[in-house]
Chain A
Amino acid sequence: MKKFEKFTGIAAPMPLVNIDTDMIIPKGFLKTIKRTGLGVHAFDEMRYDRQGNEIPDFVLNKPQYRKTEILIAGDNFGCGSSREHAPWALADFGIKVIVSTSFADIFFNNSFKNGMLPIVLPAEQVELLMKDAERGENARMTVDLEAQEITTSDGQVITFEVDAFKKHCLLNGLDDIGLTLEKASAIDSFESQSAQARPWV
């Protein structure tokens, strides 16, 4: 996985609450057996009409937001399905950071596995960033995971919390499976104890 580095990028406002995984990537695109190439289908039904033409009003279709790297979203982003196609599509589009007051659990976890950083902030701060994002491409924000800081286009600094282990994995681009396999002996001994205690499993 690529290391998550400090960057400055365009943020897009998506104030709608409960943006669900069916909105992020409709099921028609779940039939792929690959992880890549879903970016053009991110938010498909909001982004294109049935003929495949872009809907000009949709935020990511507007000229100033076409290179968005940060989404500032309404409450409960990513609710619904466990489909990792949702973070795959967003990451493939170029999204690196999503800010909201809350995220659905599975989406939240899936994001980290794909090098994306979901940030939870109180409503007032999300509102402040939303306002900043509405200013378009001139409003570039800086996200520094190491320092746990977002800097708005006019220099305001907002700090955020992140799980220490997840931060470590993102910053270093670590593969979870590799890390877990280092604990193989602990898994072995759990299994042998469990075979005694719960032989029916």
Chain B
Amino acid sequence: MPEFLHNIIYGDVTWMNLITAAVILFLAMILSKVLSLHLRRSLKDKMVKENLELMAKVVTYGILIIAFVWVLPTLGLELSGLMVAGGIFGLAIGFASQSIIGNLISGLFLMGERPVKLGDFIEVSGNMGVVEDIQIISTTVRTLDGPTIRIPNEMVFTSSITNYTSIPIRRFEYEIGISYADDAELAIQIIRDIIKEHPMALLNPAPQVYVDGLGDNSVDIIVRIWSPSSAWFPVKMELLWKMKRAIEAAGIEIPFPQRVVWQGDKGEES
């Protein structure tokens, strides 16, 4: 064994100790990667994705923390000494890393309480998108137009979160105006038939179709439809146009805004 390995770098720590610590940390990193990868592969079809991701992260961070604590004495850092040092530096570190610690603690609460899960479609702090990753410090959301947004966990945890996929179904609504001269009951029946034909327009809760108002330009029919959360947007996109075409095919007019102007007779004026 080369002699220099026993040379002291600082305190009682030699090059040998340093290399041993580095090797242990390196092996721990590899082990954590291999184990989390193995977990992801072997339990992919058997566990819900977000639970699997959480488990993989716990395994990864757990191994790294154990390895880190293990090598501390090798590097001449006794845990008891660290606790004393912690007392001295804690305050300074606390001030310096206030936001990081806040995000970290919020991250732990997020993973524990799980108001959002991977794949959920959420709106938080004005950002709407699909949750792609929940890390210990931040949450990544992919917005509808593509880019990802990294939101600090503290912001996620302290903001009001709208989770659109936490329930199995979701409702959407249309307002369709028809001419006063046309038969609203016929229009309602046409709309109901179209809803009935669509597989993803749920039978229960039943759709609602009714005259909701007598507007300035039209008789307003409200249409409320429930659909599976995973399919609601394609259904919403598809049905309105079908309704429009079917209503017009039945000779029912969907009127433009209009104003009737009566012009006085010139003869009467004079």
| Chain A partners chain B | no
Interface residues of B (CB under 8 A from A): none
Interface residues of A (CB under 8 A from B): none
